[in-house]
Amino acid sequence: MSSTNNNIYPIKTKVSQAQRQKLLNQHATVIWFTGLSGSGKSTLAVQLEAQLHALGFKTYLLDGDNIRAGLNKDLTFTDDGRIENIRRIGEVSKLMLDAGVIVLSAFISPFQSDRTQVKNIVGEHNYIEVFVDAPLSVCEARDVKGLYKKARAGEVKNFTGIDSPYEAPVRPDIHIPTHELSLDESIAKLMGYILEKIKLKD
């Protein structure tokens, strides 16, 4: 018997991912929302999940604030904290894909290399990247949680767009400029792209 890594011996299940997908009648996919704080990731992910669920798809939404309140509450907003945050969410997303689920992941995920790593972890045919795009000035004016104000006052450190970087995706699968599109228009654009991809093909 050979070990893959330090005496770890993964078991093989009797039920395959293909069988789980068939039971759920969907192509398990990760829909990855990336963008500045206040760009609209959570709003879009919540609405999209509701619409997909209403159509009978089995979904689960992973959202930055929720995950950082539990699984990842040990992590900070330093570069290293964010890198580990996204690595873990990539692995969680992979487990959920294995379960056959449509995963909506809404994280700032500011670094291109981390998003590429997630794509590699879950497989590029199972990954749809959504760039939720609004200029920093618009996100700051929205200031949904008052965090930009705190960051400008120096009360919150390492805030994305202020004193921590955001690397915009160069070739996202979908680009949603939320300062130009209404929520309904944004959801229509997302549905138009995603519905075909998550249908199970024979």
Ligand X SMILES: Nc1ncnc2c1ncn2[C@@H]1O[C@H](COP(=O)(O)OP(=O)(O)O)[C@@H](O)[C@H]1O
Ligand Y SMILES: Nc1ncnc2c1ncn2[C@@H]1O[C@H](COP(=O)(O)OS(=O)(=O)O)[C@@H](OP(=O)(O)O)[C@H]1O
| Interaction site with ligand X (CB under 6 A) | 35, 37-44, 106, 132, 142, 144, 178, 181-183, 186
Nearer to ligand X, 63 or 93 (CB): 63
24 known ligand binder:
no
Rounded to whole angstroms, the Cα distance separating 81 from 89 reads 12
164-193 positions binding ligand Y, by CB under 6 A:
164
62 known ligand binder:
no
Q: Mask: binding to ligand Y, 102-121, rule CB under 6 A, as x and -?
A: -----xxxx-----------
Terminal Cα distance for the chain, rounded: 36
39 known ligand binder:
yes
Burial 8-19 (b: 16+ CB within 10 A, else e): eeeeeeeeeeee
38 known ligand binder:
yes
CB 98, min distance to ligand Y, A = 22
Q: Which residues contact 106 (CB under 8 A, 6 or more apart)?
A: 33, 41, 42, 44, 45, 61, 62, 63, 64
Mark whether 164 is an active-site residue: no
Q: Does position 38 bind ligand Y by CB under 6 A?
A: yes
Rounded to whole angstroms, the Cα distance separating 85 from 74 reads 10
Q: Which residues contact 98 (CB under 8 A, 6 or more apart)?
A: 17, 20, 28
Q: Does position 142 bind ligand Y by CB under 6 A?
A: no
CB 143, min distance to ligand Y, A = 10
CB 108, min distance to ligand X, A = 8
Q: Which residues bind ligand Y (CB under 6 A)?
A: 37-38, 41-42, 64-65, 68, 77, 82, 85-86, 107-110, 145, 147, 156, 158-160, 164
